[in-house]
Amino acid sequence: MRVFKLIYMNALRHKLRTSLTILGIAVAIMAFGLLRTVVAAWYLGVNQAAPDRLITRSKNGITFTLPVAQKQAIERIPGVADLTYSAWFGGFYKDPKDFFPQIAVEGVHGLSLYPEFIVDSAALDAFDKEPNAAIVGKTTMDRFGWKIGDAVRLTGQIYPGDWDFVVRGVYTGRSEATDLSQFLFNFKYIDQRMQVEMPARAGQVGWWVIKIDDPAKAAAISAAVDKEFENSSDATLTETEAAFQQSFVAMAGTIVFSLQVISFLVIGVILLVAANTMAMTARERISEYAVLKTLGFNGKHILGLIAGESLLIACLGGVLGMIFLIPVLHGVGVALKAWFPAFIIDPKTYPQAAATAVLVGILAAVFPSWRAIRVSIVNGLRRIG
Amino acid sequence: MSLFLTYGLRNLFVRKLTTTMTVLGMGLVVFVFAAVLMLAHGLEETLVDTGSPDNAIVVRAAASAETVSIMSRDQAGVARTQPEVALKADGTPVATNELIVMVNLDKRKNGDAGNVIIRGTTPDIFVLRSGIKLTAGRMFTPGTSEIIAGKRAAENFKGCALGEHISSAMRDWNVVGVFDAGGTGFDSELWGDVEQIQQVFKRPIYSSVTLRLKDAAQFDALKKRLEADPRMTVDVKRERQFYTEQSQATATFIRVIGLLVSIIFAVGAVIGAMITMYASVSNRTVEIGTLRAIGFSRTRILGVFLIESVWLSILGWVVGVIAASAMSLVTVSTTNWDTFAELAFSFALSPRILIGSLVFSVVMGLVGGFLPAVRASRARIVESLREAA
Amino acid sequence: MAAPVVEVQNVSKQYHRDKVEIRVLSNLSLSIPEGGFVALMGPSGSGKTTLLNLIAGIDRPDSGQVIVAGTAVHSLGESQLAKWRTRHIGFIFQFYNLLPVLTAYGNVELPLLLTKLSSKERREHVETALNLVGLGDRMKHYPRQLSGGQEQRVAIARAIVTDPTVIVADEPTGDLDKQSATEILDLLGRLNTEFGKTIVMVTHDPRAAERAKVVRHLDKGELN
């Protein structure tokens, strides 16, 4: 117990320096947690994907559409429990820079395949009856300050022209991780206008959403769907929703990778701050260590004293950092709303941050301890004068 | 005066270990800061240089990228026959009607899928974009499913190197040539015959018309007339500006994330500098007392320690910038969110980034050194001198 | 006798150490004429260093007046005081207090950086001062490359380079061996006799005190 008290008292000797070091480590641990959370946010869609949904899209690439006529052929495939389609609208509200996803769905039936979106029955009713009704996620509603009943005009890029909608409902999520940024409306609204203005593009959907009766059969059903259209000009690529989401994450692979690299660089910054403090401390106390040695303490004891103090500081910093993380994540989540639909701490972040703090505590003590142990008693004592 | 400047530096060299660790910490932060800006700058530079100053591009009104632009044959015909368009020796306009399609290809490196642009064009593209050279193989033959590949597309995607082929829309597209577009966005594209691509991909339309102006100054006249034409509903843009705009979403994202991260990192480095400077002040109490006794005012003592701290940050800047400039050898490839197509580009250093990171670093030094310097300047002379005994 | 250059009148000073009040100087007066060489002696804690600090303008009296070179030192503000010290006071410390990162030349040049002299003029002054203390050949040496006596001579050069009105020395021989101490005292004697410098020196050493024209003893904050 004495030893712990000595470590504790030593840490208090330079209150300012110790507090600054703890603060520095806290900031770095917080940055580490923040970066891990941003990376995790990217994979959120993958993790949230339903195991019983498949996505079928054009094998040619994301800008290619599929004919609605494929419906019957897919429905006939064994294991397909339900089927709907969606299309990417790709428009904007006032400013093209303010991105949010707009998706045309197959009316109320389309929504029914997404049980994670919670919509009240009045909204569903309007969605069914009014051709230009829209149901919008809460995040996007708040972002543009829309209220139920508002008329909203979007400018189409993929579907050219101005499109007028009326917001009839807000959807909320069944879990914290549900994407609340989507703007959903009825595919019929755009398709009817396409029939008049661009007949070649009518009856073309973006992708199929297939609900299967048994997730274990996902691979077999995917293969069966793709085989069906293999030799047509509308060849398909079917994969689980998770794999589909993963391919979007992969598109930003470089950026995710950079963030991962940076999250490790921040550990370097903490390590340098902590090691610097421990080096200074050990250097100042060289003569004390010499005195301890004359009393019969050996190198291990001194290592224990330095490493103990280093660990104490690093762990306090780690705990403080995790406490900082919560409000900071909230702030950053608000700032990055346009890019990340949801921003939640990955539970793995806590053990990772704790491990980082311990590691930093140990590493920071290595070099100063080595120096302190190596110095001969005579040399150490000489520094007293 | 130089003694004042070197004094701080000399003191740093006395405490080698502490100085090294602090400088490395600051260097790491400067590295992250500079590398992020270099990434965003590299992306912008790639796209800015994709356009030529004499060229104008005509796309459908409100289309922010060629991938979402649609123009009919008639509209394309009107655009290319405007009087401002430069003519070749045979009297035909220097213009290409182009169709962009995106295909899904696998990356050589990890097999991940990426979206690659196939640009349907005509051989005139080499007249319009004179900087682009075929470096291997030959030009595609119009009327066939031959394609040529930009050098980065050829490097990064399976099936895109000379002699290989990709399969799309029930066709095999043979790569018969590779071109070098000087690090611009075209280097990440595949080019083929526009008529073929219209047929095979069943898109009887164009995405855009790119044309060379007789005189760059006539752009405004052309823009005014075409955009007012009731048959058209198009936007006319300078090619450079058009491609520059396509870097905005991704570049902004990189900058926002990067600055956020850098600022948080900077807090760590500032605290590191603060610890070091506080130690420097407390180790040199007698020195401070002596200087005060000799007649140095409080402000000068403040200055002495701030200069020392700024030296730390300048050393950190040097370390960080050297490390960051090594990054300019690195080419990255990522999806450009303005077009959704894969784009390869390099980290690019610029004088602005050098100066910006220097300012960033010096500010870290000043902030980190300020409180310790204040403590030094507030020290009472008599008490400081007494520490000697 | 010449007019007094240092006038200490009815000065009192006390310190607080952990809530205990310690009276260091009580109602003390001292006058030193131009060209004077005064040694202040007395046991530890007698207040001799405090008196020296008051004369040098690095400490303030609680009451009374300190007039040096015609200036009421106790009434100057911090920054005026700093300027005043540059002009009028040359400091010599027991432990030399040279800056370890600067050469002998750099250390001596230090106070001149506070003046408006050009670098050429500074060079002349520094060289003159170092030659005077007999270290003209050691200009590029760092303090750690010099002996204690040499370090103290560099410190003396630093004290005289600005041609100050008064030189204050706090135990200038306290850390030196006998021979070095003699050299330093010879040097101080020359400064006083040849160059007419006014010197105030605190010392324990009776042999050092012998060199002074006047020796004053302090005891319990009072002169006798």
Measured between CB atoms, does B1 come within 8 Å of chain C?
yes
- Report the residue of chain B nearest A93, measured CA to CA: B62
Q: Which residues of B touch A339 (CB under 8 A)?
A: 253
Q: What percentage of residues in chain B have a pLDDT greater than 70?
A: 99
C 149-168 near B (Cβ less than 8 A): 158
Amino acid, single-letter form, for residue B387: E
Residue C15: per-residue pLDDT: 81
Distance from CA of B25 to the nearest CA of A (A): 5
- Which H or E element spans position A290? helix A286-294
The answer to whether the CB of C133 falls within 8 A of the CB of C104 is no
- Report the residue of chain A nearest B273, measured CA to CA: A273
A and B make contact (3+ CB pairs below 8 Å): yes
3-state secondary structure of C89: strand
- Report the residue of chain B nearest A25, measured CA to CA: B268
Mean pLDDT of C129-135: 93
The answer to whether the CB of C202 falls within 8 A of the CB of C34 is no
Contact A262 B248 (CB under 8 A): no
Measured between CB atoms, does B16 come within 8 Å of chain C?
no
Question: What whole-number distance in Å separates Cα of residue A93 and Cα of residue A162?
Answer: 10
Token reading at C31: 């006058």
Query: Whose structure tokens read 């050493």?
Result: C205
Burial class (CB in 10 A: 0-12, 13-18, 19+), A202: middle
Residue A370: per-residue pLDDT: 86
Residue A253: per-residue pLDDT: 75
Residue A107 or residue B169, greater confidence:
A107
Segment among A286-300, B49-63, B79-93 with least mean pLDDT = A286-300
Neighbouring CB atoms inside 10 A of A316's CB total: 20
Neighbouring CB atoms inside 10 A of C212's CB total: 22
Q: Which residues of B touch C59 (CB under 8 A)?
A: 381-382
Question: What whole-number distance in Å separates Cα of residue A322 and Cα of residue A300?
Answer: 32
Question: What whole-number distance in Å separates Cα of residue B209 and Cα of residue B121?
Answer: 10
- Tell me which DSSP letter residue C111 carries: G
Three-state SS for B167-230 is: EECCEEEEEEEEEECCCCHHHHCEEEEHHHHHHHCCCCCECEEEEEECCHHHHHHHHHHHHHCC
- Out of A16, A253, A273, name the one closest to residue B25 (CB): A273
Token reading at B161: 């190197």
3-state secondary structure of A16: helix
3-state secondary structure of A179: coil
Question: What whole-number distance in Å separates Cα of residue C124 and Cα of residue C132?
Answer: 12
User: Confidence class of residue B168 from pLDDT cuts 50, 70 and 90?
Assistant: confident
Contact B268 A237 (CB under 8 A): no
Q: Best mutation site among C91, C94, C202 for testing chain B: the one with the most B CBs within 10 Å?
A: C91
The answer to whether the CB of B261 falls within 8 A of the CB of A31 is yes
Contact B101 A275 (CB under 8 A): no
Q: What percentage of residues in chain B have a pLDDT greater than 90?
A: 52
Residue A381: per-residue pLDDT: 66
- Tell me which DSSP letter residue C163 carries: -
User: Confidence class of residue A385 from pLDDT cuts 50, 70 and 90?
Assistant: very low
Token reading at A73: 């052929």
As a whole number of Å, the CA-based R_g of chain C is 17
What's the CA angle centered on C153, arms C152 and C157, to 5 degrees?
A: 115
B61-65, B258-262, B369-373: which is most confident = B369-373
**What residues form DSSP beta bridges with B336?**
B341
Token reading at A5: 């008290």
Measured between CB atoms, does B378 come within 8 Å of chain C?
no
As a whole number of Å, the CA-based R_g of chain A is 30
**Residue B389: pLDDT over 50:** no
C and A make contact (3+ CB pairs below 8 Å): no
Distance from CA of B240 to the nearest CA of C (A): 55
B 132-151 near A (Cβ less than 8 A): none
| Helix residue spans in C78-147 (DSSP H) | 78-88, 104-109, 119-132
Question: What whole-number distance in Å separates Cα of residue A147 and Cα of residue A145?
Answer: 7
Burial class (CB in 10 A: 0-12, 13-18, 19+), B139: middle
Amino acid, single-letter form, for residue C53: N
| Helix residue spans in chain C (DSSP H) | 48-56, 78-88, 104-109, 119-132, 148-160, 178-193, 206-211
Three-state SS for B286-333 is: HHHHHHHHHCCCHHHHHHHHHHHHHHHHHHHHHHHHHHHHHHHHCEEE
Residue A10: per-residue pLDDT: 80
Segment among A92-101, B373-382, C57-66 with least mean pLDDT = A92-101
Nearest to B30 by CA among B313, B225, B327, B342: B313
Mean of the per-residue pLDDT values of chain A: 86
Q: How many CB pairs under 8 A join B and C?
A: 76
Contact B1 C83 (CB under 8 A): no
Segment among A296-310, B46-60, B305-319, C205-219 with least mean pLDDT = A296-310
Token reading at A241: 């929703």
- Out of B4, B287, B295, name the one closest to residue C111 (CB): B295
Nearest to A126 by CA among A82, A168, A173: A168
Q: Which residues of B touch A235 (CB under 8 A)?
A: 170
How do residues A63-73 score in pLDDT, each as one tens digit? 788 999 999 99
Question: What whole-number distance in Å separates Cα of residue B75 and Cα of residue B84?
Answer: 16
**Residue B5: pLDDT over 90:** no
CATH superfamily of C35-44+77-223: P-loop containing nucleotide triphosphate hydrolases (3.40.50.300)
How do residues B83-129 score in pLDDT, each as one tens digit? 999 998 898 999 999 999 888 888 898 887 788 999 999 999 998 98
Token reading at B362: 């010096």
- Tell me which DSSP letter residue A270 carries: H
Terminal-residue alpha carbon distance, chain A: 32
As a whole number of Å, the CA-based R_g of chain B is 29
Question: What whole-number distance in Å separates Cα of residue A62 and Cα of residue B67?
Answer: 11
Q: Best mutation site among B385, B386, B387 for testing chain C: the one with the most C CBs within 10 Å?
A: B385
Domain boundaries defined on chain B: 2-48+248-386, 55-212
A53-58 and A207-212 as β-strands: parallel, antiparallel, unpaired? antiparallel
Contact B261 A63 (CB under 8 A): no
B 256-315 near A (Cβ less than 8 A): 256-257, 260-261, 264-265, 267-269, 271-272, 274-276, 278-279
Question: What whole-number distance in Å separates Cα of residue A323 and Cα of residue A346?
Answer: 15
Query: Whose structure tokens read 């005077």?
Result: C132
3-state secondary structure of A279: helix
Nearest to C11 by CA among C53, C52, C51, C58: C51
Token reading at B214: 């007789």
Residue A383: per-residue pLDDT: 53
Residue A384: per-residue pLDDT: 45
- Out of B18, B114, B261, name the one closest to residue A280 (CB): B18
Q: What is the ipTM of this complex?
A: 0.82
Q: Best mutation site among B15, B294, B382 for testing chain C: the one with the most C CBs within 10 Å?
A: B294
**What residues form DSSP beta bridges with B172?**
B167
Q: Sign of dihedral through CA atoms A185, A188, A191, A195?
A: negative
Distance from CA of B72 to the nearest CA of A (A): 11
Query: Whose structure tokens read 């080019």?
Result: B191
Q: Which residues of B touch C53 (CB under 8 A)?
A: 381-382
Question: What whole-number distance in Å separates Cα of residue A165 and Cα of residue A155?
Answer: 11
For every residue of C27-48, DSSP letters joined together read EEEEEEETT-EEEEE-STTSSH
Question: What whole-number distance in Å separates Cα of residue B149 and Cα of residue B151?
Answer: 6
**Residue B329: pLDDT over 80:** yes
- Which H or E element spans position A17? helix A15-42
| Helix residue spans in chain B (DSSP H) | 2-14, 16-50, 73-80, 125-128, 151-156, 194-200, 219-228, 239-245, 248-283, 285-294, 298-326, 351-378, 381-386
SS3 content of chain A, % helix, strand, coil (to 5): 60, 15, 25
**Residue C73: pLDDT over 70:** yes
Mean pLDDT of B165-194: 92
- Report the residue of chain C nearest B11, measured CA to CA: C101
Nearest to B189 by CA among B242, B135, B121, B252: B121
How do residues B74-87 score in pLDDT, each as one tens digit? 999 999 999 999 99
- Out of B70, B101, B256, name the one closest to residue A61 (CB): B101
A40-54, C161-175, C208-222: which is most confident = C161-175
Mean of the per-residue pLDDT values of chain B: 89
Question: What whole-number distance in Å separates Cα of residue A276 and Cα of residue C87?
Answer: 41
Q: Best mutation site among B232, B275, B343, B347 for testing chain A: the one with the most A CBs within 10 Å?
A: B275
Q: Which residues of A touch B267 (CB under 8 A)?
A: 24, 27
- Out of C79, C89, C97, name the one closest to residue B297 (CB): C79
What's the CA angle centered on B138, arms B135 and B141, to 5 degrees?
A: 145
Neighbours of chain B (3+ CB pairs under 8 A): A, C
Residue B138: per-residue pLDDT: 95
- Report the residue of chain B nearest C111, measured CA to CA: B294
B 188-247 near A (Cβ less than 8 A): 201-202, 204, 233
Contact A250 B63 (CB under 8 A): no
Residue B211 or residue A381, greater confidence:
B211
Mean pLDDT of C76-95: 88
Contact A258 B39 (CB under 8 A): yes
Question: What whole-number distance in Å separates Cα of residue B16 and Cα of residue A367?
Answer: 14
**Residue A100: pLDDT over 50:** yes
In this prediction the pTM is 0.83
Q: Which residues of A touch B256 (CB under 8 A)?
A: 335-336
B146-150 and B113-121 as β-strands: parallel, antiparallel, unpaired? unpaired
Distance from CA of B91 to the nearest CA of A (A): 34
Residue B286 or residue A46, greater confidence:
B286
Domain boundaries defined on chain A: 2-44+253-382, 60-234
Neighbours of chain C (3+ CB pairs under 8 A): B
**Residue A176: pLDDT over 80:** no
Question: What whole-number distance in Å separates Cα of residue C68 and Cα of residue B294?
Answer: 16
Measured between CB atoms, does C59 come within 8 Å of chain B?
yes
| Neighbouring residues of C56: CB distance < 8 A, sequence distance ≥ 6 | B293, C85, C89, C91, C166, C168
Question: What whole-number distance in Å separates Cα of residue A100 and Cα of residue A139?
Answer: 10
Residue B110: per-residue pLDDT: 81
- Helix axes of A253-284 and B16-50: crossing angle, nearest 10 degrees: 160
Contact C95 B388 (CB under 8 A): yes
